[in-house]
Structure 1
Amino acid sequence: MSTNSIEKKIENKVAYLHLNRPEVFNSFNREMALAMQTALDEVAQNPEVRAIVITGNGKAFCAGQDLKEVTTPELNPGFRKILEEHYNPIIERIRAIEKPIVAAVNGVAAGAGANIALACDIVVANEQAAFIQAFSKIGLVPDSAGTFFLPRLIGFQKASALMMLGDKVSATEAYEMGMIYKCYPTALFEEEVQKLAVTLADMPTHALALTKKLLNRSMINNLQEQLAMESDLQIEASSSNDYREGVAAFVEKRKPEFKGN
């Protein structure tokens, strides 16, 4: 199914969302940002979907904001609307959806495009991909939660330098500094992404959703609060059908069949 700027495909319990404005390196305009929110809502609510992949069509993952939109008076929504109605709701959905989300960065991820990727649960990249905090190059500050996630991924000093200097970081460098999970050879990229997504879809996704909640709260909880939340969610997880199936499969020495409940 296509929503013009976002293509959606569901296969093997995995929803693939393709950013689809390759002629402008998948940069976001208002239509694409709203379509992305709709697509995320649809796959979040679809019981057949147990994992989500966000990737790009063409040579780029996402070049961030379409500057033509903001420099054309009759098209420009204004930065407050762009942030509060476009990017912030996308980031909030990515973190709130109770399904694992993989960013499969197939090419350049710049500005908001880079930060949308880094907000996902697992980030993998094609070896030809690159990440750029491009904001400072045009006199802007990082948005789309970049200042929240990037320092936590790679440390304050490194994040500060990348955001101020706008350096281009190769996929290999991003992997080595802990920005992303894995970097795959170009020839194997699509196959490895599919294997990763199917692996996640076959896992006990209820437990993965609870893990995601814990990671979200770990950003703001103190130790005691986090320990208490771990206790509560572990009790919830241990009451699930997936837990019972996992234990039974272990005892019976067979592959578990998880249902996500």
Structure 2
Amino acid sequence: MTTLDGFSHVGLDGDVLRIAIATAANGTALDFDCVDEGTAALRALAAGEIAAGAVLLVGDGANFCAGGNVRDFAGAPDRAAFLLDIANRLHDFVRLLAATTVPVVAAVQGWAAGAGMSLACAADIAIGGESTKLRAAYPGVGLTPDGGMSFTLPRIVGARKAAELILSDTIIDADEAVRLGILSRLVADDEVKDEALKVAAGFAAGPTSSYAGIKALLARSGESTLSDQLDAEAASISAAAAGPTGREGVDAFVEKRRPDFAATR
């Protein structure tokens, strides 16, 4: 990975923007130096100041993210103000993740608890290991969700199941997480980061404008009627067909060759 100027926890692996969200030095709790750097990097990506075709979220340690640092919560002079501040900083990051036009992949090794589970749910693709475990974790410390869990989890597993998982603070093992759709698929524990990078690199080499259109359609589908969504799909596929990526993809198919999407950017 090439670390970007001004960043300690963000870098480029080829055309993949790699963002660490937790560090071993912080006990793999959510690290707000990482979160703030991730927010800055995603803003730079949106502004065209960083060129990347995918985002990869990782934990630098044994876990993807073990949740918020509860000792920091306990030590804050004003707990309410402290939690409000860090929740808003996390939410700036989550909003930018949701808005990015490139695919977001999460390498979910070890534990993804609390905000770590929220960030796993915020990714487009989440690769887990055989020993990966997820847990909402908020009721155990008398708190409520942040990081978008109350929005994303019901859309992944359904409202009733999301209520059960959060309220009962269920530990979700890797196989169950795949069955529910929280994790996309599993690999061996020691292959999670490599496989997630491979997936992200594949997206980065692919039809980026097509991915942007797909993400835009999926983002609006929950609030659309079928008729509105059909209209949006018609407009989107027509625009894609007229663009360089669509032309290259169709021409390559007809000519029986591999498309060169990189040449269309």
Moved more, 172-181 or 130-139: 172-181
Moved more, 50-59 or 177-186: 177-186
The question of whether the paired residues in 2 share the 8 Å contact of 1:4 and 1:20 is answered with no
1:235 matched to 2:238:
yes
Question: Closer, same or farther in 2 for the Cα pair 1:240/1:75, shift >3 Å?
Answer: farther
1:18 matched to 2:7:
no
1:183-228 per-position Cα deviation (integer Å, ceiling 9, x unaligned) = 1112432332232112111211111011111111112222222222
1:28-55 per-position Cα deviation (integer Å, ceiling 9, x unaligned) = 3543332221122234434531111101
Structure 2 regions of 5+ residues with no counterpart?
none
Aligned position for 2:160: 157
| 3-state SS of paired residue (1:134) | coil
| 3-state SS of paired residue (1:59) | coil
Aligned position for 1:81: 85
1:95 matched to 2:98:
yes
Q: How far, CA to CA, are the matches of 1:80 and 1:191 in structure 2? A: 35
Aligned position for 1:134: 137
Aligned position for 1:146: 149
The TM-score with structure 1 as length reference comes to 0.91
Q: How far, CA to CA, are the matches of 1:153 and 1:247 in structure 2? A: 32
Question: Closer, same or farther in 2 for the Cα pair 1:75/1:124, shift >3 Å?
Answer: farther
Question: Closer, same or farther in 2 for the Cα pair 1:23/1:55, shift >3 Å?
Answer: same
Deviation of 1:141 after TM superposition, in Å, equals: 1.5
1:248 matched to 2:233:
no
Q: How far, CA to CA, are the matches of 1:5 and 1:73 in structure 2? A: 27
Aligned position for 1:27: 29
The question of whether the paired residues in 1 share the 8 Å contact of 2:21 and 2:31 is answered with no
The question of whether the paired residues in 1 share the 8 Å contact of 2:45 and 2:52 is answered with yes
Q: How far, CA to CA, are the matches of 2:83 and 2:50 in structure 1? A: 35
| 3-state SS of paired residue (1:102) | strand
1:176 matched to 2:179:
yes
Deviation of 1:2 after TM superposition, in Å, equals: 6.7
The TM-score with structure 2 as length reference comes to 0.89
Count of aligned positions: 260
Q: How far, CA to CA, are the matches of 1:28 and 1:188 in structure 2? A: 22
Question: Closer, same or farther in 2 for the Cα pair 1:248/1:47, shift >3 Å?
Answer: farther
In the TM superposition, 1:153-232 aligns within 5 A as 153-232=156-235
| 3-state SS of paired residue (1:15) | strand
Moved more, 224-233 or 100-109: 224-233
1:37 matched to 2:42:
no
Question: Closer, same or farther in 2 for the Cα pair 1:168/1:25, shift >3 Å?
Answer: farther
Which amino acid in structure 2 is aligned with residue 22 of structure 1? A
Moved more, 123-132 or 71-80: 71-80
Deviation of 1:178 after TM superposition, in Å, equals: 1.7
